[in-house]
Amino acid sequence: MTGTAEVHIWHLKQCPLFTNLTTGELDAIYAASQNVSLGPGEIVPPPETGESALWIVKRGHVQLAYVDSTGREATVLILGPGDLFGGFHGHEDYGEHCKTLTSVCLCRLTQVRFEQLMQKYPDICHTITKASFDRIHRLQVRMAELMMRPVDQRIAITLLELDSQVGEECGEPEGRRLGLPLSHRDLSMLVGSSREMVTHVMRRLRKEGLVDTARKEIVITNVEKMRELAAR
């Protein structure tokens, strides 16, 4: 096995999606897939990849959005290791649009290779199907939040969700730094509001001692109060 193959399979083993697969199944995924590494701020899929495919995040984070025929964009989820996106059937009015937030390592499976894996390895089929249903559930919960909660609660819920994904302790006594570069525009697209409204709410949360922000960096300075806001 070449060094490149060893690195690729190591990344697969670290991916939560593939924790329960055997070495033989991981080898099969390696043989059927393409390893794609991208830097922050890049569009996925890259133009040169050609046909549509299923993408699996092995390392890093991407921003999943849907774009309509007029170019309007709505960010719905931040995807991390173990999440998947893409597919083989588009929609005439809406298309998936992903942008990397950090450096990423992705696994790309074309439709032909994907179907071959499904037929030969039922456990891989079960694993990927379960991940697909998990993402659908996350999307349903997020849509319900967007429809039923005011903007300040949606921001609180989103920041706490991001903390569970990429949060890390920082110098503040109770502080949690979100390990992703997020502007107010990024946050507004996640919570389904205008950038101006998000800026207004974030300014108020900063005055109340719940957050601190600087250069796309967000720190939750009081997690307990943020949870109280989210639960109102």
Decide: 65 and 74 in contact? Cβ < 8 Å: yes
Which range has the top average pLDDT, 44-58, 126-140, 146-160? 146-160
Instruction: Please report which confidence band the pLDDT of residue 91 belongs to, taking 50, 70 and 90 as the band edges.
Output: very low
Same domain, 29 and 116: yes
Averaged pLDDT, 100-111: 89
> Which CATH number does the domain housing residue 80 bear?
2.60.120.10
Q: Between residues 111 and 68, which one has the greater pLDDT? A: 111
**Domain count along the chain:** 2
So what's the pLDDT on residue 136?
80
CA angle 197/198/199 to nearest 5° reads 90
pTM: 0.75
Give the pLDDT score at 93.
47
What percentage of the chain carries pLDDT values higher than 70? 90
Confidence grade of residue 173 (pLDDT, cut at 50, 70, 90): low
Distance CA 128, CA 116 (A): 14
pLDDT value at position 175?
83
Look over the chain and give the mean of its residue pLDDT values, rounded to a whole number. Answer: 83
Cα separation, 210 vs 203, whole angstroms: 10
**Same structural domain, 162 and 128:** no
Please check whether residues 38 and 115 belong to one and the same domain: yes
Most confident of the following: 33-47, 61-75, 183-197? 183-197
Boundary-marking domain end, from 146, 172, 189: 146
The verdict on 41 and 81 lying in the same domain is yes
Model confidence at 92: pLDDT above 50: no
**Mean pLDDT, rounded, for 72-98:** 73
Report d(CA 153, CA 78) in Å as an integer: 18
Q: What percent of the chain lies above the pLDDT cut of 90? A: 25
Q: Is the peptide bond before 46 cis (omega within 30 degrees of 0)?
A: no
Cα–Cα distance measured from residue 162 to residue 180, given in angstroms and rounded to the nearest whole number: 9
* CA 176, 177, 183, 188 torsion-angle sign: negative
Long-range contacts of 1-10 (CB under 8 A, 24+ apart): 4/35, 5/30, 8/35
Of the three residues 129, 146, 163, the one that is the final residue of a domain is 146
Q: Based on the fold, state whether residues 117 and 155 are members of the same structural domain.
A: no
Looking at residue 3, its pLDDT comes to: 58
Whether 172 shows a pLDDT value over 70: the answer reads no
Residue 163: per-residue pLDDT: 93
Whether 130 and 192 share a structural domain:
no
Structural domain harbouring 177 = 149-231
Mean pLDDT confidence for 77-85: 87
Let me know whether 23 and 98 are in one domain. Answer: yes
- Do 87 and 19 lie in one domain? The reply is yes
**Confidence band for 88, pLDDT divided at 50, 70 and 90:** low
Distance CA 206, CA 212 (A): 6
How many C-beta atoms lie closer than 10 Å to residue 168's C-beta? 11
Task: Say which residue the tokens 């991208």 belong to.
Answer: 38
Choose the weakest-confidence range: 109-118, 156-165, 217-226. Answer: 109-118
pLDDT at 86: 79
Where does a domain end: 118, 146, 174?
Answer: 146
pLDDT above 50: residue 208: yes
Secondary structure E strands in the chain: 34-38, 43-44, 53-59, 62-68, 73-79, 84-86, 94-100, 104-110, 167-169, 176-178, 211-214, 217-220
